Each structure stands twice: as structure tokens, then as C-alpha cells.
Structure 1
């Protein structure tokens, strides 16, 4: 699907020797490729909203240089592929979830603010064939929520012409109760202040959807892409009075982005 190419001239870094060795963890020494970029997307005001807003989106990933594929999905968290063997990759992942301010949207009046959340975890992705990527992320939240989140996705990757690639596939998200309640629950005080009925939101299947992306590689360093992602809220998230009475369970995001890749070496 992709011919490995050097992203740029290498920069060398020398890391101090670790105080101890971790079994089964490969050495960080060697060549790495960093992808950084910026995008913008039109996305719902908050999860469950029927209105949208435009947001800037950062792009970041690190992988072993010379990997067979250079595909990145728009839903991928920032990640580092510490383990990169053949068609299999794994490593840490990070996602930032912005705060939800009740005074910014009339639908949230009386529900209070939800602080920004930081989700830390890991990812695993596998290519059973060159044109199919399977990826799973499992993250633990801190801050705005303290629950667990699991994202599962599959992408069929098809080159249309040289440097132009289209991809599409299904998505599924599961969230624990602690990751669902802050955004979809309504306690007694919030019910009194907002006019919404009390609601105890529990975790489980959160959403199912589909996404598609088209990308163009200008040269080995630069790539531009456009995408659309749709998700249907499920379970207690979809049944929340915030969604049923003031929002929508249909969530669509449209985005554009550009990324730059460069190589560096750890000695």
C-alpha cells in the first residue's frame, strides 16, 4: 500500500542508559518518524448537541521509521508505536477532552461545568492484509471524568491514484459509568436548575458509527486530508434527557488537516 520513504534528514539524539531493563520492551534506540500537524473540524458543540462549532485539532504520532504503512485515522489519539513488528503496532496513547461550560450553550443551563479530561492509555493496531487496518484504544480518564473508554475501528484503505488514498470503515465506542455520568447524568440540583428530569446515566455501549477519509501525499514529508465521521449515540447516552429533549443522538464531524513528517535517530 505504501513504499517506505525517509521523511527527512535525520536528527540524532543520545538518551542516557535506563536505570533498569523492562522485559519484552524493545530498545528505543534507532530511527523514528514523527508526524505533527494541525487540522480544523466542524463538530457538535458538545457530545449530544444538535448544533455545531469549528475547532482546531492537533495531530501527533511517533512510529519506527520505515514502517510499511503511514495511515492515520482522524479518530486516532496521539500515540507512540513503541512496539512495531511487521503488521503489528502497540504503544501508549493520549487524548484531550475539552471542558464543557454550561454558560456557553443554552441547552446546558443549570447543568454545571465539566472540567477538561485527560485520557491516558494504549493502542493496538494490526494489518491482516495490506489494505485493512484494525485498531483498538483503551484509555483511562483523569480530570473531567475518571472512567474508562474503549475505541474500536476498522479502515479499508484504497489507493485511487498515485499519492491519493481513500479509506472508510466502522467505529464503536464503549464507556464506563464514570466516563458517561458527568456528561449525560442529571442530579437533583441540576434537575431543579435546568428543568430537566433527574437521570442516572450508566456506562456501556456508547456509540456506533462510520468514518471516511481522503488523503493526498504531496511529498514524503507533507500530507493533506479531509474526512467525515458519523456516530450514533447508544444506551444511556442516547436516552439522556439532555440528548432527547435538547440535543440529538446523531453526531457528525467534518474536518480538514495537514501534517508534516520528519525522521530522528536515538543512539
Structure 2
């Protein structure tokens, strides 16, 4: 599923790139690939490495990007300067039992990857000379076994000098009861076979995250990019018997072509 979605994202972005840019498409277009280390699942005590796409493509009302914490694409409009409102389709990660010895040894079922559909409001401004982006985003999983989530994310640029750019970001994500129980819950039947206690988390905060992302202009066309992020599970998510670590790190590095 992940490979299919990533391939479709790259193909879709290539189609967008072929479209003429509008005068107000101020953000530079990026398309590339990276390698990152992530936890096997949220709360895992083991890590996995994987390739991931690097995208930032805006063509009129259409967009595809990975710069706001999700692989997402959709359409949006700007009712006033700096404000964008739109809808998006996004890739949602799962909890693959085969990627975690802890889950596999206890027979915990896989939570499949999938897609979500949702809406967002984004505001771009400046604090002095520093660019500031505030994003509110709603995501509803299309799989009936998963639920809905909402994000509030703020990104503040703090470096743009000698080819280097960098920004700090923070995010709060909350989830409804179905999403929390689908990912962090332990049903009585699974508890009986796994030895873990049954657990039914309620709706509420899922995680807080913070980190930095940046890049270095290698040449006129190529950009080296990187990011480092810490996720901290909170609320009922952090209390799940599936959680081995409440804090997880995500580190990535990649290269992108700047069109």
C-alpha cells in the first residue's frame, strides 16, 4: 500500500508540474526522495528505515506536498491574502505487526495503512522577517475501522542565509474514540491470546510533536534536505499496553530538485 501511494504521489506531482504555474504560486517547487528512520509503530521500542517522497508542488488551486507532516494532495483557494482553505487526500500510516517483534510475539493484529479525506485552513504571515505558518487540519480515515483526527501545526522559519534554510515546528494531534481504539486499543479477544490487558482508550489528545526541518542549496537545481522530530504520546494513547515508549524520534535526509 505504501509503495503504491508513494508512486501515485510522484506521478500526480509530475502531472501538476507539467501544468503552467500561476503568478501567485510563490513557493518553489520541489520533487525528490529521502531516507528516514521512524518507529515501527507509534509507541514502539524499535525503529525501521524507509524511503519517502519529498514533494512541494503548487499549481493554481491544486497541490501535493510532504512539508506539513503528511503526504497529501488536494485543492484549495485563497479568500484573502495569506489565508488558504481547502480539502485534501492524505496517506495514513498503519501498525504493521511484521515490523515489530513485540507485536508479532503477542499476536497483535495489523492496523492497515490507508487514506484519509479532510479539510484544512492555513495562514501564512511573518513575525518580523521570519515566515510563520499556522495550519488547522481535519482528517477522516476512509477505512470504516479507523476514525478521525485533527491537527494544529505551527512552523516558524529562523534561518535563511548562505544557502541554508531552517524552520522549527510544533504540532498537536487529537483523535476520536474509533481512531484511538483502532490503533491503541486491545480487545478482550486479543487480550486473551496476547497476555496484554484489555484496553479501551477514549477520544482526546494523541500526541505532541516538535522538531526542525531545513535544507542546503547544493546547486541551482538541487537541494539537500533534512528533518528531526520527536513525537510524545499523551492522554489515553500514552497509557496503552501496546506502548513501549511514550517518546519516539523521526530523522530523515533527502535530496530534491528545485524547479
Query: TM-score surpassing 0.5?
Result: yes
| Gaps in structure 1 of 5+ consecutive residues | 1-9, 14-28, 66-70, 263-267
- Residues 105 and 141 of structure 1: CA distance in aligned 2, closer, same or farther (over 3 Å): same
**Greater relative CO, 1 or 2 (CA 8 Å, sep 6+):** 1
In the aligned structure 1, how far is the partner of 2:210 from the partner of 2:191?
34
- Residues 61 and 214 of structure 1: CA distance in aligned 2, closer, same or farther (over 3 Å): closer
2:69 to 60, 75, 93: 75
2:248 to 248, 251, 257: 251
**Number of matched pairs:** 230
1:176, 1:204 within 8 Å by CA — same for their partners in 2?
yes
Trace 1:117-266 onto structure 2 (pairs within 5 A).
117-129=114-126, 130-143=130-143, 145-218=145-218, 221-243=221-243, 247-262=244-259
Deviation at 1:161, TM superposition (A): 1.3
In the aligned structure 2, how far is the partner of 1:12 from the partner of 1:106?
46
Deviations 1:154-201 (A, max 9, x none): 111023413311111321111111111121111111001110001112
Deviation at 1:230, TM superposition (A): 0.7
- Residues 44 and 138 of structure 1: CA distance in aligned 2, closer, same or farther (over 3 Å): same
- Residues 179 and 48 of structure 1: CA distance in aligned 2, closer, same or farther (over 3 Å): same
Deviation at 1:77, TM superposition (A): 3.5
Instruction: Tell me, yes or no, if structure 1 residue 96 matches structure 2 residue 94.
Output: no
Deviation at 1:94, TM superposition (A): 2.8
Deviation at 1:261, TM superposition (A): 4.5
Deviations 1:223-262 (A, max 9, x none): 221111111101111000111xxx1111110111223354
In the aligned structure 2, how far is the partner of 1:163 from the partner of 1:81?
31
In the aligned structure 2, how far is the partner of 1:82 from the partner of 1:160?
27
Query: Residue 142 of structure 2 aligns to a residue in which SS?
Result: strand
2:180, 2:201 within 8 Å by CA — same for their partners in 1?
yes
Structure 1 runs (4+) deviating above 6 angstroms are: none
2:139, 2:150 within 8 Å by CA — same for their partners in 1?
yes
Deviation at 1:144, TM superposition (A): 7.4
- Residues 178 and 56 of structure 1: CA distance in aligned 2, closer, same or farther (over 3 Å): same
2:47 to 42, 47, 52: 52
More displaced stretch, 171-180 vs 154-163:
154-163
Structure with greater proportional helix content: 2
What is the TM-score with the length of structure 1 in the denominator? 0.76
CA-atom RMSD in angstroms: 2.7
Query: Residue 242 of structure 2 aligns to a residue in which SS?
Result: helix
- Residues 153 and 59 of structure 1: CA distance in aligned 2, closer, same or farther (over 3 Å): same
In the aligned structure 2, how far is the partner of 1:140 from the partner of 1:219?
40
